[in-house]
């Protein structure tokens, strides 16, 4: 590949530096999948040339990449904040967008934090460089060592991406809005997997050319270079509770409970914003690059350079973007307190709480249940077993009584031994009763929990 550098040379330098690592990990037969390229050591000379084989049978081409006169930022119309709200404020201002992660990353890189001690750098110079970092200014009155604020959803942040997202779920019965912050995970180094949240991404350059494979087939190729910015956190913080070594069956996530009426929730959900208050911490910034190579079948190539600011979470603020009014402020302790308060109120309203689960890994049970004055529930129809079944784990809350029932002895014998029952948090052994069904050809097996 022949690359002629012009325009945004600083970005192309990084792109080239990352791509110089390709030969050690690139496999030609995997060119249609994402390739991860790690950035280690100093950047090489920005001008270099190389012929690369792409496509299943070898896509050979020469291309000159130049920066376009206009770029498609994707978020250029956003007005990012230049300050972090004081910790005691009750309103962040209408339309508050938080800090620009791109600007913070560029200031951070200019300080030299990402660079380890050079063999040509004395210890005194290295210590002086590190000591000067906290005083580096991002904007007037805002320095790197201070509190930073980033909005995790809204314009400019994709709500459906695989790189972190905000999920809202309202329970009208409890008048409870659950705001879930869900993180993706990235393996930057061996055995170092970090939760991450991508905040913004934009195509910086886009090049068009004709590519030809070894059989003479050609395709019009669009090859793009994008730049993304986000946040990464340590494992095991109050916002990323799972620690390394735990099964990564689901992404790291935390749900914040908001007690609001259904009318208020309907008006709010489209304007609700999540603001993360945090501070920078070691390793300060993490980089990686992904490459999707073009093929004859899919003639679209993309190189994505991503930079994650490594932060320690301090607080999460939930606010209304329209007015800027802060609805809730959460930190580690206040989140625990709010969860306990809601649990106590829930327990007072529903003194019976029954949990049904399966240590054997069953995800359904041939079980029916009925509580208080509610109709009997038999679960959803499951096409794989051709009958209705209750999904597990199952949580039932009641004011006076809960009835569990199996329609036959066979269902009871097949299922009950794989289930664990917890009543108000304590494991119990239900006393099952058998009675003849009305058709006189089968038996019902049931048990009842009552309060008081």
Phi-psi region of 9 (alpha: psi -120 to 50; beta: other; left: phi over 0): alpha
pLDDT at 64: 27
pLDDT at 73: 38
Indicate the average pLDDT of the chain.
76
Scan for tokens 């004709």, then name that residue.
210
Which phi and psi angles does 16 have, rounded to 5°? Answer: -70, -40
- How far is residue 10's CA from residue 109's CA, in Å, rounded to a whole number? 12
Closest by CA to 195, choosing from 232, 229, 161, is 232
pLDDT at 216: 83
pLDDT at 115: 72
Identify whether the C-beta of residue 52 lies closer than 8 Å to the C-beta of residue 202: no
pLDDT at 180: 92
pLDDT at 317: 97
pTM attached to this predicted model: 0.68
Pairing relationship of beta strands 300-320 and 272-292 according to DSSP bridges: antiparallel
pLDDT per residue over 3-46, tens digit each?
A: 333 333 434 444 444 443 333 232 222 232 233 333 333 332 22
Identify whether the C-beta of residue 358 lies closer than 8 Å to the C-beta of residue 420: yes
- How far is residue 59's CA from residue 295's CA, in Å, rounded to a whole number? 7
Low-confidence stretches of the chain (pLDDT < 70) are: 1-78, 112-114, 134, 139-141, 156-163, 187-191, 242-251, 438-442
pLDDT at 273: 95
- How far is residue 394's CA from residue 387's CA, in Å, rounded to a whole number? 18
């Amino acid at each position: 590949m022949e690359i002629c550098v012009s325009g945004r040379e600083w970005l192309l330098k990084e792109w080239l530096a990352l791509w110089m690592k390709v030969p050690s990990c690139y496999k030609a037969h995997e060119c249609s999948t994402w390739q991860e390229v790690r950035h280690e050591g100093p950047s090489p000379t920005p001008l270099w040339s190389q012929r690369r084989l792409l496509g299943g049978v070898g896509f050979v081409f020469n291309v000159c990449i130049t920066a376009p006169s206009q770029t498609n930022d994707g978020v250029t119309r956003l007005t990012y904040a230049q300050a972090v709200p004081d910790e005691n404020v009750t309103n962040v201002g209408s339309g508050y967008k938080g800090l620009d992660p791109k600007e913070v990353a560029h200031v951070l890189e200019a300080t030299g934090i990402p660079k380890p001690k050079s063999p040509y750098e004395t210890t005194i110079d290295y210590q002086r460089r590190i000591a000067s970092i906290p005083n580096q200014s991002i904007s007037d009155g805002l320095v790197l060592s201070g509190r930073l604020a980033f909005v995790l959803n809204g314009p400019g942040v994709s709500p459906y991406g695989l790189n972190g997202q905000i999920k809202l779920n309202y329970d009208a019965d409890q008048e409870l809005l659950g705001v879930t912050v869900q993180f993706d995970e990235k393996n930057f180094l061996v055995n170092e997997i970090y939760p991450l949240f991508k905040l913004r991404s934009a195509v910086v350059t886009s090049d068009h050319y004709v590519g030809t494979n070894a059989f003479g087939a050609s395709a019009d190729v669009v090859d793009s270079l994008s730049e993304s910015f986000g946040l990464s956190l340590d494992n095991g913080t109050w916002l990323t509770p799972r620690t390394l070594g735990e099964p990564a069956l689901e992404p790291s996530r935390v749900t914040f409970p908001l007690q609001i009426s259904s009318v208020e929730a309907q008006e709010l959900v489209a304007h609700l914003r999540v603001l993360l208050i945090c501070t920078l911490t070691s390793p300060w910034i993490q980089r990686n690059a992904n490459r999707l190579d073009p093929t004859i079948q899919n003639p679209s190539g993309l190189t994505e350079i991503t930079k994650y600011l490594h932060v320690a979470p301090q607080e999460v603020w939930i606010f209304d973007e329209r007015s800027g009014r802060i609805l809730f402020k959460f930190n580690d302790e206040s989140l625990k307190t709010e969860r306990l308060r809601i649990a106590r109120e829930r327990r007072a309203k529903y003194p019976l709480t029954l949990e049904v689960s399966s240590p054997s890994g069953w995800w359904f049970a041939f079980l029916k249940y009925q509580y208080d004055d509610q109709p009997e529930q038999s679960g959803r129809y499951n096409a794989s077993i051709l009958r209705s079944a209750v999904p597990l784990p199952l949580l039932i809350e009641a004011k006076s009584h809960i009835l569990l029932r199996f329609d036959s002895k066979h269902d009871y014998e097949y299922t009950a031994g794989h289930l664990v029952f917890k009543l108000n948090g304590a494991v119990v052994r239900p006393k099952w009763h058998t009675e003849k069904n009305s058709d006189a050809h089968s038996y019902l097996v049931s048990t009842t929990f009552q309060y008081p």
